[in-house]
Structure 1
């Protein structure tokens, strides 16, 4: 019950603050997918609506990337309609 309340409040906080940019370190591959997966597991359904488009839930998908510099890797991409996700870890890895 506590986790459901916390998860619901977190989603409510994002909608209330209405940020243009969501930023963090490894948010793309860990933080956002973790929160959405936990919310789904505990049936806190409103958490998945993190974007500005009210009827479009945020969904996670795997995106395979390959390059000579970075090799093969799989990143997670989450659609959060109307918000920019800025992952500092992604920028750090690309600037090597």
Structure 2
């Protein structure tokens, strides 16, 4: 079992309500899921509480006068809140 598989197992075992970090939405979580897919690590994409719903990455376009046009990544992790401190920091400028 590789490190990514063990990490996915750890998330399912601990069953956190909130996953938090700095830039987790645009880098960390998408990187982990892409890397797991690339090395064919099993079960890593099942990070949510809904057992048969894999986490998937999608691009989300945002537009505002203050920040202009941006493309962010969004990953569904069913039943868990993702709290990205960088997103909060950028929105509070």
Superposed pair shares fold, TM > 0.5: yes
Q: Equivalents in 1 of 2:72, 2:42: separation in Å?
A: 24
Shift of 1:45: 2.5
Task: Provide structure 2 residue ranges, at least 5 long, that are not aligned to the other structure.
Answer: none
- Count of equivalent residues: 92
Shift of 1:56: 0.2
Match of 1:21 among 18, 21, 28: 18
Shift of 1:93: 0.1
Partner secondary structure for residue 46 of structure 1: coil
After TM superposition, the score normalised by the length of structure 2 is 0.98
Shift of 1:17: 0.4
Q: Equivalents in 1 of 2:42, 2:48: separation in Å?
A: 14
Residue 9 of structure 1 is matched in structure 2 by 6
**Higher-helix-fraction structure:** 1
Partner secondary structure for residue 48 of structure 1: coil
Q: Equivalents in 1 of 2:34, 2:7: separation in Å?
A: 14
Shift of 1:61: 0.1
Structure 1 segments (4+ residues) deviating >4 Å: none
Q: Equivalents in 1 of 2:91, 2:67: separation in Å?
A: 8
After TM superposition, the score normalised by the length of structure 1 is 0.95
